[in-house]
A = this chain, B = another copy of it.
């Protein structure tokens, strides 16, 4: 590992994740012998990461400096900010400071991993200040799409570093938890050395609409939709939206049924923590919905992103066990497609509409708003904080870039803004210009099942190949001494579409391999490995000629 050279009069700032990407937000603020970490998020894998459950940062820099890590402060309870907490604490077991909802979700995660009794958790609220010694962290309330969201001001002897977390300025939040404008203005007035601010919506030249605006639409829809069931699809992570729909259902005398594992879990968390005010008798079991009149039922469902395995897609496809679509059903998408999901969302909408459902979706219907502030709110945050230096975080490169442009419009000189990469260490002494003090490894670590970091690029390459052209397995029993094929060769395939329909292809393929094996065996000192390679080469060539495809070929030879 490259030498990181931070001087005693410098505060250093870096990301383990969150720069150049949406996800795995994990930022470090380091002064002398104290390191404070903000958030411990996961990233959801891109499509090319086949079979990967999620991606977490490489914590090795923190492990090497484990004695100096003083605490983990959490901005809010979304997966890209707390999802990796168990892995983080396995690597670096330090006290965790989080607001009520994030803390409840963290407890769930740690309980699952049977780690709850081995960690130190502290609940914070708006205005909480945590002292680590030379540094401290002050939490200030912001707004987003769930309750209990905070920005954090890390105060160090060199200056104050503010990490906004995810935010919008929702002045009429349905949570009634208003952004603490006074704290932000005060922290800005006291002086901010570096502002690290959420870049998600840097490309939107607007002020993001309040959740109260969505609330009005939801209320109007529940008024209008007197007939038929209402199926409400949104992100399970959007607690505010879940509250909106369930509140409306209760006001309009509809029972609530919940479909989708993450939605069930969100509902049960929300009720336990008091964010959702749903009496027991307002809920109905999945199996009982057939006993409820259509116009007295609300179905809360996952799958607003068109996910093929989610409840909504299965309802649309007619493959859902409990819910058969009816012509008078009303389906509300209270979400907007994440780029890349547009096609699958449209496919689900088409299927729902073909089945006769009334589908309400899209921006035109005023039933979704972002949880992140647009340019005007990003500018307001910078204007409140008036930082000397600026680091756009939480976003892909082009978002960071646009966000940096906004800062320049606000008279932060371009040379005072730092678009960094994960692992870059920015050191500031408050007097001289900030400097790059080194770089530590900050590659993606893949989580697949229970394994951490045991999936490399070869595995992923294989999965990609498999996903594209399938698999052909060749079995044969060979006596290498006698140079005889005792059984086979046989061909088995998965995901190689031509095979099933083409007996000729299989038969001809077997002949090809038979000859290949015989030829390979006849060579002097032929090894198993030589035969395997010959099979792969010849069959691959043959199949590509016949089908223009290159399935993965896997010889399973039994040598006797």
Contacts and interface: CB of A to CB of B under 8 A. Distances in A.
A384 interface: yes
A530 interface: no
Nearest to A384: B181
A186 B380 CA distance: 16
A206 B169 CA distance: 13
Interface string A372-388: 00001001101110000
A172 B182 CA distance: 21
For this chain, the copies found in one complex come to: 2
Contact of A185 (B181, B205, B382): B181
A116 interface: no
Contacts of A384: 181-182, 185
A178 interface: yes
Given A181-B185, A181-B383, A181-B384, A212 B409 contact: yes
A378 B311 CA distance: 42
A383 B143 CA distance: 13
B379 A171 contact: yes
Interface residues of A, number: 27
Interface in A324-356: none
A410 interface: yes
Contacts of A185: 181-182, 184-186, 384
A489 interface: no
A188 interface: yes
Contacts of A440: none
Interface in A370-420: 376, 379-380, 382-384, 409-411
A443 to B, nearest CB: 38
A189 B181 CA distance: 10
Contacts of A514: none
A425 to B, nearest CB: 31
Given A188-B182, A409-B212, A171 B207 contact: no
Most buried by B among A207, A384, A409: A207
B410 A376 contact: no
B171 A376 contact: yes
A376 B182 contact: no
A185 B186 CA distance: 8
Nearest to A408: B172
Given A181-B185, A212-B409, A207 B376 contact: yes
Interface string A198-209: 000000011100
Interface in A161-177: 169, 171-172, 176
A23 to B, nearest CB: 28
Given A207-B376, A409-B212, A182 B171 contact: no
B178 A383 contact: yes
A171 B411 CA distance: 10
A181 B172 CA distance: 19
Contacts of A186: 182, 185-186, 189
Interface string A203-239: 0011100001100000000000000000000000000
A207 B182 CA distance: 20
A96 to B, nearest CB: 31
B171 A380 contact: yes
Contacts of A176: 411
A212 B182 CA distance: 27
A187 to B, nearest CB: 10
Contact of A171 (B184, B213, B410): B410
Contacts of A213: 205
B188 A379 contact: no
Contacts of A207: 206-207, 376
Given A185-B182, A186-B185, A172 B410 contact: yes
Interface of A: 169, 171-172, 176, 178-179, 181-182, 184-186, 188-189, 205-207, 212-213, 376, 379-380, 382-384, 409-411
7 contacts: A169-B380, A171-B376, A171-B379, A181-B383, A185-B384, A207-B207, A380-B380
Given A179-B383, A186-B189, A206-B207, 7 more contacts: A171-B382, A172-B410, A181-B383, A181-B384, A182-B185, A182-B188, A182-B189
Which 4 pairs show the lowest CB-CB distances between chains A and B?
A185-B185, A207-B207, A171-B379, A207-B376
